[in-house]
Amino acid sequence: QKEVEQNSGPLSVPEGAIASLNCTYSDRGSQSFFWYRQYSGKSPELIMFIYSNGDKEDGRFTAQLNKASQYVSLLIRDSQPSDSATYLCAVNSDSGYSTLTFGKGTMLLVSP
Amino acid sequence: ETGVTQTPRHLVMGMTNKKSLKCEQHLGHNAMYWYKQSAKKPLELMFVYNFKEQTENNSVPSRFSPECPNSSHLFLHLHTLQPEDSALYLCASSQEGNIGLNSPLHFGNGTRLTVT
């Protein structure tokens, strides 16, 4: 069974610090990796995607992928209280028409 | 309107009731999905429709019945539900059935369902 693992948290960081969110996945055939942010009571929104080994930067966000270790991470620099949310890692699964397998999510709390 | 719209936002129903959840997407996408989000659990894929054809059914109980009359509309018909079915039901769409760089998943705001 394809699985995506994340620490549930909460991960607490002070404002201005770097938040590091981690995710591992079981399916070596996975091709695309996504990070969604979900505020309490809201729907998930896509913030980053990555499909090549290495780093991908977008503003304060950096996604890191290591397919050999089956590991993907999200770094948030200069964390803000507005970044407080649950971050969902999702991995592309190939089942004919591909679907996403989600982790349980990591709750991030950024204190002022 | 833009994006993915779900109605109702909240629904309380008894175990003997029949109700339907509605989803509409205004993104011109060809694939639509139903996900279930329960506390402390990952998002669970329930159904996938690609070009109106159901392509995946993840062993969902028959008390959940999807309907996709066209590429823009998706329904989830509910009957004789159980209290453990209480959850957030999320509709999503993507440009095509192959989710990836050029076809990310867009979610609606969800329907919070409570079964009493």
CA distance A15 to A79: 5
Contacts of B105 in chain A (CB under 8 A): 34, 46, 90, 100
| pLDDT score at A63 | 97
- The predicted pLDDT at position B53 comes to 78
How close B79 comes to chain A (CA, Å)? Answer: 25
What pLDDT does residue B101 have? 63
**A44/B48 CB distance under 8 A:** no
Q: Given an 8 Å threshold on Cβ–Cβ distance, is B41 in contact with A49?
A: no
Position B1 pLDDT exceeds 60: no
Q: Cβ B98–A34 below 8 Å, yes or no? A: no
* Distances B84 to B9, B37, B66 between C-alpha atoms, Å: 19, 12, 19
Determine the residue of chain A that is closest to B31 in CA distance: A97
Report the share of chain A in percent with pLDDT over 90.
Answer: 74
Mutate to test the interface with A, among B49, B99, B112 (most CBs of A within 10 A): B99
- Name which of B41, B97, B107 is nearest A104 (Cβ-Cβ): B41
pLDDT tens profile B60-114: 999 999 999 998 999 999 999 999 999 999 999 998 776 766 678 899 999 999 9
Cis peptide before B8 (omega within 30 of 0): yes
How far is it, in rounded angstroms, from Cα A56 to Cα A47?
12
Percentage of residues in chain B having pLDDT higher than 90: 67
The two three-digit tokens of residue A55, written as one number: 């780093």
Q: Is A7 on the interface with B (CB under 8 A)?
A: no
Give A62's pLDDT tier (boundaries 50, 70, 90): very high
pLDDT at B57 over 80: no
Report pLDDT digits (tens) over B16-41. Answer: 889 999 999 999 999 999 999 998 88
In angstroms, rounded to a whole number, what is the distance separating the alpha carbons of residues A63 and A49? Answer: 7
Strand partners, B26: none
A9 at B interface, C-beta within 8 A: no
